[in-house]
Structure formats: C-alpha cells, structure tokens
C-alpha cells in the first residue's frame, strides 16, 4: 500500500470515475472502510492518551470514546452504506454484477482476481455465469 492509498483510506476518499477507469481499481471497498476505521481509531487513541497525560484530564476519558465514534465509527458506517449503494447500482448495470464470480464485498472477480468496472470486464464475458437463486 503506497502513501497516497493510505491517505485515501484515512480520508475515506473515493476516486473519481476517471481514476477508477484508468486504474481499474475501486478506491473504496469493505476492506478499505475497515482499514480506515482502524487507522483513525488508532490515531485518535494515541492522540487522546497523549492529551490526557499531558494535561491531566483523566476524568474526561469518555471524550475519547465520543471522538472515536464521531471521527472513526460513524464516518466509516456512512462510507460503508455509500459503498453498498454503489455496489447495488454496479450489480444492476453491469454484466459482472450479475455474475456468480463477482465478490460484492470488494468488487472483485474471483476467477481473474481483478476489479471489474463499468467499462472493463476481465473475461470479456467468456466466463460469465448467472448468480444462483436461493431456491436452487
């Protein structure tokens, strides 16, 4: 993971459609949201410990819990919901979206180990198989 990717994860920053097309990589996935939350939580805990120790604010420890909720958990949850909406749209609009080999938690083709996009189908449709319904 390079430094820019780390910043993207920390900021829960999504790539533009052009970037996604160029790199064929979705910037935000379930994994990057989890990483973002963990990274933010670790930074908030370290900062809180430093501030609490430095200014002897032990009776205000609960503010750290609030900071973790406001700075890491809630933005992570919002970002996850956004990713879910994006995946739902992707499933409706693309060939890969209706294929049984698509891993919807990371927008990844399980056969080719690549990220399909709206304009990029790694197998060019040759390995497409329909998703199985629950009654099969």
> Where do contacts with ligand SF4 occur on this chain (CB under 6 A)?
95-96, 99, 101-102, 109, 111-112, 116, 121-123, 127-128
Residue 29, classified by CB atoms within 10 Å of its CB into exposed (0-12), middle (13-18) or buried (19+), is buried
Residue keyed to tokens 């009654």? 135
Which of residues 66 and 112 has its CB atom nearest to ligand SF4 in the complex? 112
Which of residues 64 and 104 has its CB atom nearest to ligand SF4 in the complex? 104
The structure tokens listed for 91 are 């499933």
Which of residues 79 and 117 has its CB atom nearest to ligand SF4 in the complex? 117
Closest distance between ligand SF4 and the C-beta of residue 8, in Å? Answer: 24
Closest distance between ligand SF4 and the C-beta of residue 84, in Å? Answer: 18
Closest distance between ligand SF4 and the C-beta of residue 49, in Å? Answer: 45
How far apart CA 120 and CA 39 sit, in angstroms, is 31
Judge contact between 63 and 55, C-beta under 8 A: no
Closest distance between ligand SF4 and the C-beta of residue 103, in Å? Answer: 9
Residue 61, classified by CB atoms within 10 Å of its CB into exposed (0-12), middle (13-18) or buried (19+), is exposed
Which of residues 10 and 101 has its CB atom nearest to ligand SF4 in the complex? 101
């Amino acid at each position: 993971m390079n430094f820019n990717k780390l910043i993207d994860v920390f900021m829960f920053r999504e790539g533009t459609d052009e970037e996604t097309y160029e790199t064929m990589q979705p910037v935000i996935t379930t994994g990057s949201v989890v990483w973002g939350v963990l990274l933010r939580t670790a930074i908030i805990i370290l900062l809180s410990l430093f501030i609490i120790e430095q200014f002897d604010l032990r009776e205000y420890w609960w503010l750290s819990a609030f900071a973790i909720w406001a700075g890491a958990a809630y933005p992570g949850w919002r970002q996850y919901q956004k990713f879910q909406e994006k995946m739902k749209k992707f499933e409706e609009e693309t060939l890969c979206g209706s294929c049984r080999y698509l891993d919807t938690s990371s927008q990844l083709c399980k056969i080719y180990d690549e990220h399909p996009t709206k304009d990029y189908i790694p197998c060019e449709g040759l390995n497409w198989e329909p998703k199985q319904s629950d009654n099969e």
